[in-house]
Structure 1
Amino acid sequence: MFRLIKSSLLVIFSAACLNLTAMATAQENSKPAFISDALFVYLHSGPSNQYRIVGTVNAGQSVTYLGEDSDTGYAQVQYEDNKTGWLPKEYVTYTPGLVSQLANLQQEHASSNERMLQLEQQRDQLNGQLNQAVAERQTALEQLEQANRAYEQLKVQLQNTQSSILEKPMVLGAIILFGGLLLGLVLPLLLPKRRGGDRWM
């Protein structure tokens, strides 16, 4: 009886070791894969279509390749939270299928559209700033033109003021000169002449 229990335990232990070894080998051989572009593929519990169907995977779905049976041409894959199944290995590919590529392209297209909207907003903002700068420049030019006109008017007024200031002394000087000339001519006639005997010898 003891030998029977011992033999049974030895068989169970050996089977567990083999199972662990197979799982370790499967993990070492596992790699990312994709389901090729079929509508969906049945997954079987063993490496042929004689085994029961345990699920389906859709075209382009990401799975993990675990290994294959070279005799039946079936590959074992892991999908959906550590579930495993077998399917014909021609349905397994290591490049993303058209469905995955389409999803990636749609995501890139959405990102490009979002970026384009951002660039359009920046362009509109820059156009607004440019228009504001042009308007400010036009206002500054008008103010400069007004300042130039005011400067010219002040310049003319200053020249007129300087001319009037210069003209007044000239007139005054001319009057003084004329008066001095008259005085110089008339005064000797009014004063009596000195006698010649008053001179010192």
Structure 2
Amino acid sequence: MKKLFCMVLVSMLAMPAAFAQDRYIADKLFTYMHSGPSNKYRIIGSVDAGEKVNLLESNKETGFSHIVDAKGRQGWVQTEFVTSQESMALRLPRLEKELADVKNKLANARSTSDSEKAGMAESLEMRNKQISELEQNYSEISNQLTDSQEEVRKLRAKLDTQKDDLLLKYFMYGGGVAGGGLLFGLILPSIMPRRKRKNSGWA
């Protein structure tokens, strides 16, 4: 029985926690402004937290400061609530704007970087393509040069052969002419005297 009672009690205590929702205390706080430098003076209004005020004087004995608020009202507030540091209520919007500007600059820088990167990649691709075309053209020209050199070699060999044939023909022609001349020179003397002898016999 006690065990059952304990279980019911635990479940009842756990229910509020189960239905609880996360919330935050609002930072829209304020401090009262008095007509004199003490809490004994009457309240003439309030000043929101973070509001900009003009400090006229401070009373160290009572711990109150004489101020003029944004509405032009003069009064006294506790000195501990007056600070020379700008409040988060004023700084936060400016910080958020600066953060937004930084994010925009970062996004623009990233976009510019991506654009430059894409441009460099495109340029690199074009250069690689040009290099590939040059290599292909070089290969073709090299092949053509090899073919031309082979053709020149063959033509030179053919020309050398034709020169040899021509020299041989010239040699044979010269030898034939020389042989014919020699033969003619041998035959002509033997012919000429005979004719003379015939002519002398007829006389």
Q: How far has the Cα of 1:103 moved from its partner?
A: 4.5
Counterpart of 2:112 (choices 112, 115, 122) is 122
Determine the C-alpha separation between the residues in 2 that align with 1:84 and 1:119.
Answer: 50
**Residue 44 in 1 paired to residue 34 in 2?**
yes
* 1:124 aligned counterpart, secondary structure: helix
* 1:72 aligned counterpart, secondary structure: coil
Give the TM-score normalised by structure 1.
0.66
Give the conservation status (yes or no) of the 8 Å contact 2:34–2:44. yes
Runs of at least 5 residues in structure 1 that lack an aligned partner in the other structure? 1-36, 196-201
Q: How far has the Cα of 1:155 moved from its partner?
A: 0.7
Give the conservation status (yes or no) of the 8 Å contact 2:35–2:76. yes
1:153 aligned residue: 143
Runs of at least 5 residues in structure 2 that lack an aligned partner in the other structure? 1-26, 190-203
2:165 aligned residue: 175
- Give the aligned length: 159
Give the conservation status (yes or no) of the 8 Å contact 2:37–2:66. yes
* 1:193 aligned counterpart, secondary structure: helix
Aligned counterparts, 1:68-83, within 5 A: 68-83=58-73
Determine the C-alpha separation between the residues in 2 that align with 1:78 and 1:133.
Answer: 66
Tell me: CA distance 1:42–1:49, structure 2 relative to 1, closer, same or farther (3 Å): same
In angstroms, what is the RMSD of aligned CA positions? 2.7
Q: How far has the Cα of 1:75 moved from its partner?
A: 0.8
Aligned counterparts, 1:7-86, within 5 A: 39-86=29-76
Indicate the percent of aligned positions where both proteins have the same amino acid.
25
Give the conservation status (yes or no) of the 8 Å contact 2:51–2:70. no
2:185 aligned residue: 193
Determine the C-alpha separation between the residues in 2 that align with 1:51 and 1:124.
Answer: 66
Higher RCO by CA contacts (8 Å cutoff, separation 6 or greater): 1
Determine the C-alpha separation between the residues in 1 that align with 2:28 and 2:39.
Answer: 17
Determine the C-alpha separation between the residues in 2 that align with 1:114 and 1:125.
Answer: 16
**Residue 166 in 1 paired to residue 185 in 2?**
no
* 1:129 aligned counterpart, secondary structure: helix
2:101 aligned residue: 111
Q: How far has the Cα of 1:79 moved from its partner?
A: 2.2
Determine the C-alpha separation between the residues in 2 that align with 1:171 and 1:81.
Answer: 120
Q: How far has the Cα of 1:50 moved from its partner?
A: 4.0
2:83 aligned residue: 93
Give the TM-score normalised by structure 2.
0.65
2:130 aligned residue: 140
Give the conservation status (yes or no) of the 8 Å contact 2:33–2:75. yes
2:22 aligned residue: none
